[in-house]
Structure 1
């Protein structure tokens, strides 16, 4: 309980300083802390809909749930996905996962010295840093998509070898999109901003260019595709379908941004009929964020 409290505070506005204080200071944790966490049950922050809408969606899509579960490659994935769906339906958004090895779980993802890593939603390069650590800097190329200029500039400053930073969002066609960005890895498109009113107030309204991965020569030889792009994953995957069919890259795709993504993204990968083995892993210690679909 103390550990989970520290993790919660670490990612809150109080940050690391308070978490470090907790490591050294015994504290009494009253019940209201747990009850305060349960406030997420009535807010759309992670799931994007109310508890009632969530329950209705999953009740109406039992066939899809069954198909996804039947096609997951191991029991861990099957039990985990059912647990996440149950948590979403109940409104209890506390779920302990494993933050270690996000996007690179050693029992699923195996990297070579010739990887072409395409990172959609590269933020400030945190996943790229983990990729470099995992490969010991033995890779062919990195393509980083990051439309938030405040974040992409931080990647460029690092002067990462063989890394091309593209200031685009990824989509299923060439287009433009208005969204709100705060330079902290959070963004939301304009028509979803009501559900994220805090970000709308704090973030800067920007219009970005969207590109289709299939149209970009830089991605033509990709071997590993990672996506964490705030709910745009399915459209972006559709915009990469030709390249996926040609290259059969490893996939690490976030599916936690909506209830629909939990089912539609795995079903889309299955519809390719490419023999992908599908796994689900959860990488947050304190909520229902950071659920990733792996396809290998």
Structure 2
């Protein structure tokens, strides 16, 4: 019996939500709470450091040698509360834990998810700029585009998605991503939009270390499916090829996806942030093609699922996928969190205006400002 016979039935679609006016959207955005917060100072004159209980003695000894007036050190325990807010593992710009600043910070994020806390970005900005919004959304963009924002909000299929969308805009206005409801869904595997056995997946944006997701896609589609994995950064192709070699249903494509065939400057980054440059000089060049041209060149001419995580090139790649979207209606998982921040609205607005019958969902998959994914569920065949 074919493995396909065991594929789970698709979940029932969510009921339609009432349409919102622009006034409704503004009111909802204003009312959205900051869902996660931490304390960095209880008193302006007193620094507080919250640590894992097992690190309490170590932290006490450490700060006694580094501070003339040591901070107050408290263990992170259920129910701990300071000034009416829930604390996390760092305070006043100081971080404590094994392995130095960055591993400690990431561990804090893990605990933050469990405790429903969030980062005080202003307090840690001097320490870890990578996680900070340094260029807030201009308020004028929201004023000028309120009708587009309302249209996009009404296109989202459930209330959680609407709150993520409006919370994402509120974050971009304030720099505080605590306004974005966090999702515990597995990123790129939404409960309504998932890769299925036998699917042909088009995945753009892998980079070294990102092949784990490609392998998950490979396992999900099974022997009857296929994963076309596109990566424009030639500096990582060889290690990717080695990592993916055992996956016989994966085709590694050493090109990027764009609106058309092109060769453009490229910036190779060390932290998964390599990107195509529209202008200026990069430290490399890359070859680009459209998804439409690749699908048309394959004998099967199939595309069942599209995943784009390409550091701001998503709008161009979508423009190069329009014929495939119209003809084949693949499932979608598109990153919408890259700069420029206007893309957060523009990507959804572009897809809505194609009027292809999709139901859209939005999930935010991290306790910081990155990893917001737009999912598209195509109309039933």
TM bin, normalised by shorter chain, reads: 0.7 to 0.9
Does residue 172 (structure 1) correspond to residue 259 (structure 2)? The answer is yes
Question: Cα distance 1:263–1:96, how it changes in 2: closer, same or farther (>3 A)?
Answer: closer
Residues 129-188 of structure 1: CA deviation (Å, up to 9, x unaligned): 33245x274551010000112333222112122111111111101111112112431124
Report the alpha carbon displacement of residue 5 of structure 1 after superposing the two structures with TM.
Answer: 4.7
**Of 286, 297, 307, the match for 1:226:** 307
Q: How does 1:1-296 map to 2 (within 5 A)?
A: 5=89, 14-16=101-103, 35-37=122-124, 50-51=135-136, 54-94=138-178, 95=180, 97-98=182-183, 100-105=185-190, 107-124=191-208, 125-133=211-219, 135=220, 137=222, 139-158=224-243, 159=245, 160-190=247-277, 205-216=283-294, 217-218=297-298, 220-257=301-338, 258-285=340-367, 287-296=368-377
Larger Rg: 2
Aligned length: 271
Report the alpha carbon displacement of residue 33 of structure 1 after superposing the two structures with TM.
Answer: 6.8
User: Which moves more between the two structures, 247-256 or 154-163?
Assistant: 154-163
User: Which moves more between the two structures, 219-228 or 169-178?
Assistant: 219-228
TM-score relative to the length of structure 2: 0.62
Mapped to 2, the partners of 1:215 and 1:278 lie a distance apart of 25
Contact kept in structure 1, 2:217 and 2:227, CA below 8 Å: no
Question: Cα distance 1:192–1:113, how it changes in 2: closer, same or farther (>3 A)?
Answer: same
Structure 2, unaligned runs of 5 or more = 1-37, 39-75, 77-86, 111-118
Question: Cα distance 1:179–1:85, how it changes in 2: closer, same or farther (>3 A)?
Answer: same
Question: Cα distance 1:262–1:109, how it changes in 2: closer, same or farther (>3 A)?
Answer: same
Question: Cα distance 1:5–1:178, how it changes in 2: closer, same or farther (>3 A)?
Answer: farther
Contact kept in structure 1, 2:202 and 2:229, CA below 8 Å: yes
Greater relative contact order structure (CA < 8 Å, 6+ sep): 1
Mapped to 1, the partners of 2:108 and 2:135 lie a distance apart of 35
Structure 1, unaligned runs of 5 or more = 24-31, 194-199
Mapped to 2, the partners of 1:247 and 1:183 lie a distance apart of 36
Residues 42-99 of structure 1: CA deviation (Å, up to 9, x unaligned): x89876x733x52221221111110000111001111111111111101224556236
Mapped to 2, the partners of 1:115 and 1:282 lie a distance apart of 25
TM-score relative to the length of structure 1: 0.78
Mapped to 1, the partners of 2:374 and 2:287 lie a distance apart of 26
Report the alpha carbon displacement of residue 243 of structure 1 after superposing the two structures with TM.
Answer: 1.2
Question: Cα distance 1:4–1:71, how it changes in 2: closer, same or farther (>3 A)?
Answer: farther
Question: Cα distance 1:190–1:89, how it changes in 2: closer, same or farther (>3 A)?
Answer: same
Mapped to 2, the partners of 1:288 and 1:19 lie a distance apart of 13
Mapped to 2, the partners of 1:192 and 1:96 lie a distance apart of 35
Mapped to 1, the partners of 2:327 and 2:221 lie a distance apart of 27
Mapped to 1, the partners of 2:182 and 2:284 lie a distance apart of 34
Contact kept in structure 2, 1:38 and 1:93, CA below 8 Å: no
Contact kept in structure 2, 1:9 and 1:15, CA below 8 Å: no
SS of the aligned residue for 1:259 comes to coil
Mapped to 2, the partners of 1:290 and 1:22 lie a distance apart of 14
Question: Cα distance 1:191–1:44, how it changes in 2: closer, same or farther (>3 A)?
Answer: farther
Mapped to 1, the partners of 2:358 and 2:352 lie a distance apart of 7
Question: Cα distance 1:44–1:136, how it changes in 2: closer, same or farther (>3 A)?
Answer: closer
Contact kept in structure 1, 2:276 and 2:286, CA below 8 Å: no
Question: Cα distance 1:61–1:17, how it changes in 2: closer, same or farther (>3 A)?
Answer: closer
